[in-house]
Structure 1
């Protein structure tokens, strides 16, 4: 059986979060959704559990941070093209999300960040297949670019 990944994300408005994630094209699994949490299905093995802050507090003795002011994690998703990255951002912005910084274009990789209405950070990126196969420096060298991806 493959490993499934469940990422718990805090929300102050569960209905708003469900609307946001369905606007991105994801489904909600009603069998694991109630007044405290919603199971957002990203694919067959990856799920977001969007949970109320109070409910998330029952999972840990640690303080639950406010994702509008503190970053605990950033979750990134690959897309098959730059256009698909831009499409995801357009959907998210139309559904109440925000773009906290400008797009990053490193030559071998294009990425944009999207914050959901609670401030949880989602990244969407496209990496040139040759860069993924050979590594960014080899790809950039072939393209005639001398800059290292870490020096950009």
Structure 2
């Protein structure tokens, strides 16, 4: 079995958050979803678990960070600069915040960061495959 990651995120509005992530291209996995949690799939190995605040509190007693603070920035790879831009635009169009951090364009690497409805920060990035191959 491949190693997988399940990123657990507390969300204030489960339905709105699910719609936001669907707009970014995630798909719902009903096998790991119910009225308190929704599993949103980015790839075969990357899943975001959206948890109601009540469900979140069954896993930890630590406080949920305010929506204007950041504990982590989650980075996802994209196939092109155009895909990075498209995801940034989709985030803004569906209630998130586009370019929460400054855009980075290093020529061989391009990234933009978004915040979801609850302030969780995601960096969407692309790297030129030919540069990666040259470095190997």
TM-score, L = length of structure 1: 0.81
Runs of 4+ in 1 over 6 A off after TM superposition: none
Give 1:31 shift: 2.3
Q: Aligned residue for 1:58?
A: 58
* Higher Cα Rg, which structure: 1
Give 1:20 shift: 0.3
TM-score, L = length of structure 2: 0.90
- Higher RCO (C-alpha 8 Å, min separation 6): 2
Does 1:73 find its partner at 2:80?
Answer: no
Does 1:19 find its partner at 2:8?
Answer: no
Gaps of 5+ in 2: none
Give 1:133 shift: 2.9
Does 1:97 find its partner at 2:85?
Answer: no
Alignment length, in residue pairs? 134
User: What RMSD in Å do the two structures reach over aligned CA positions?
Assistant: 1.4
SS in 2 for 1:75: strand
- Tell me, in whole angstroms, the C-alpha distance in 2 between the residues paired with 1:65 and 1:54: 14
Gaps of 5+ in 1: 136-152
- Tell me, in whole angstroms, the C-alpha distance in 1 between the residues paired with 2:69 and 2:90: 24
Deviation by residue 1:35-60 (Cα, 9 ceiling, x = unmatched):
21111011122110000122111112
